[in-house]
């Protein structure tokens, strides 16, 4: 009897595993004329441990392989490219890699996309100062200079000066025309942008030649997990504009900003603490879709595997205004034994929105 019961349990387990694997479908376009934008969450927890760095390379490698089949036209990353910007000796608790190794790792991972697809990378609080924005100094430009990715060059239309007075991609504007003919302007803004940067962005967005563009703001920190713009955060910097100030000074007064993307937030092994979403109207009455996506504490918390390989796939449909959002893990998808875990289908991670 015991042997018979064991056989039944074994057969049930095999059947359930087979069923789960049969249900897996690789990402594909819902409409063959759609195009895709990939949103990568904060990489910091991947690069601070040597053992995790390969997972982030797997993610960018997967993107590289899918450029043609998914018609990937743009990649955004929400920042905190590293855990510590300028650390010589790791503490072996919050990472075992010195800062140079972290910067080299994230630069190498994005190198898989160089010359293949444009990418825009936000600069987060951990990308400044020593450990976390103790000052505005950053190694960003050393590892991500304007010439690194040849696919960015045709899109770059403006760059603001960093704290050292040098124009860099920490604050930059990229003009992009989608396969459907919709004109976009992507504005990359540093963590808690300075007043001069806010004014620079207003000046760029306000130019007559961008009147009919859909402007998308990319910045590291904007929405809390309650989907409210941050009023302030406890960082040792002055001249800083957090989410609410960005909304009041830059986004709401505009007539063409319709998208805001950010990361930054997290909660161990809890997706609700990593995401945020809201819509409001700007001064012209146009809908502004604001999306926060991160995953760095999924997969074991702050000292886990870096985020279980989660990324977001935004499919822009040929009707010109519908966007389908999916949350997918190439890390889980790579093995038949874990493919059934490769999609997050809850309403916070899979949904549609429309552009005006």
Report the CATH number that the domain containing residue 263 is assigned in CATH: 3.60.21.10
pLDDT 10s digits, 16-58 = 444 444 589 999 999 999 999 999 999 999 999 999 999 999 9
Give the chain's residues under pLDDT 50.
2, 4-21
pLDDT 10s digits, 258-281 = 999 999 999 999 999 999 999 999
Residue 158 within a domain: yes
Structural domains of the chain, count: 1
Q: Which of 221, 294, 313, 280 has its CA nearest to residue 34?
A: 313
Q: Which of 195, 144, 155, 193 has its CA nearest to residue 171?
A: 193
Q: What angle do CA 177, 106, 229 make, to 5 degrees?
A: 65
What phi and psi, each to the nearest 5 degrees, are found at residue 122? -70, 150
The pLDDT score that the predictor gives to residue 15 is 43
> What tokens does 4 get?
């018979």
> What tokens does 126 get?
């951990």
**What is the C-alpha to C-alpha distance for residues 266 and 252, in angstroms, rounded to an integer?**
26
Q: Is the torsion defined by CA of 43, 47, 51, 56 positive or negative?
A: positive
**What is the C-alpha to C-alpha distance for residues 164 and 147, in angstroms, rounded to an integer?**
19
The pLDDT score that the predictor gives to residue 197 is 98
Q: What does the buried/exposed string (b/e) look like for 283-303 if buried means 16 or more CB atoms within 10 Å of the residue's CB?
A: eeebebbbbbbbbbbbbeebe
Residue 129 within a domain: yes
Give the residues across from 275 on adjacent strands: 293
Residue 9 within a domain: no
Give the residues across from 328 on adjacent strands: 311, 343
Residue 18 within a domain: no
The pLDDT score that the predictor gives to residue 23 is 84
Q: Decide: 194 and 241 in contact? Cβ < 8 Å.
A: yes
The pLDDT score that the predictor gives to residue 3 is 53
The pLDDT score that the predictor gives to residue 22 is 56
- Secondary structure E strands in 250-293: 257-262, 275-281, 287-293
Q: What angle do CA 317, 307, 106 make, to 5 degrees?
A: 85
Residue 309 within a domain: yes
**What is the C-alpha to C-alpha distance for residues 270 and 119, in angstroms, rounded to an integer?**
27
Show the domain range for 242.
30-354
| Residues, the chain | 356
Residue 17 within a domain: no
The pLDDT score that the predictor gives to residue 294 is 98
- pTM of the complete model: 0.93
What phi and psi, each to the nearest 5 degrees, are found at residue 64? -55, -40
Residue 7 within a domain: no
């Amino acid at each position: 009897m015991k042997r018979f019961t064991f056989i039944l349990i074994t057969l049930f387990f095999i059947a359930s595993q087979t069923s789960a694997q049969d249900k897996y479908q690789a990402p594909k376009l819902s409409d063959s004329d759609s195009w895709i934008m990939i949103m990568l969450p904060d990489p910091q927890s991947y690069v601070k441990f040597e053992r995790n760095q390969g997972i982030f390379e797997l993610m960018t490698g997967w993107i590289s392989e899918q450029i043609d089949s998914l018609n990937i036209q743009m990649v955004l990353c929400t920042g905190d490219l590293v855990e510590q910007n300028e650390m010589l000796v790791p503490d072996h608790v919050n990472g075992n890699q010195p800062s140079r190794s972290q910067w080299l790792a994230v630069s190498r991972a994005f190198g898989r996309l160089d010359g293949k697809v444009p990418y825009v990378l936000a600069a987060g609080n951990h990308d400044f100062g020593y450990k976390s924005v103790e000052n505005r100094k950053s190694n960003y430009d050393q590892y991500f200079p304007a010439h690194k990715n040849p696919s960015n060059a045709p899109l770059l239309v403006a760059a603001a000066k960093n704290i050292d007075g040098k124009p860099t991609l920490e604050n930059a504007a990229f003009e992009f025309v989608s396969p459907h003919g919709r004109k976009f302007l992507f504005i990359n803004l540093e963590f808690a942008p300075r007043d001069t940067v806010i004014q620079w962005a207003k000046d760029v967005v306000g130019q007559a030649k961008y009147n009919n563009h859909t402007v998308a703001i990319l910045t590291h920190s904007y929405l809390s997990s309650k989907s409210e713009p941050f009023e302030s955060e406890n960082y040792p910097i002055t001249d800083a504009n957090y989410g609410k100030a960005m909304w009041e000074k830059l986004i709401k007064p505009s007539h063409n900003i319709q998208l805001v993307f950010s990361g930054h937030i997290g909660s161990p092994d809890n997706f609700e603490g990593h995401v945020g979403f809201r819509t409001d109207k700007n001064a012209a009455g146009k809908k502004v879709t604001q999306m926060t996506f991160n995953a760095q504490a999924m997969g074991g918390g702050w000292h886990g595997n870096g985020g279980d390989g989660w990324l977001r796939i935004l499919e822009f449909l040929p009707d010109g205004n519908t966007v389908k959002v999916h949350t997918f893990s190439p890390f889980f998808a790579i093995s038949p034994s874990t493919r059934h875990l490769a999609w997050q289908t809850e309403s916070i991670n899979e949904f549609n929105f429309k552009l005006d």
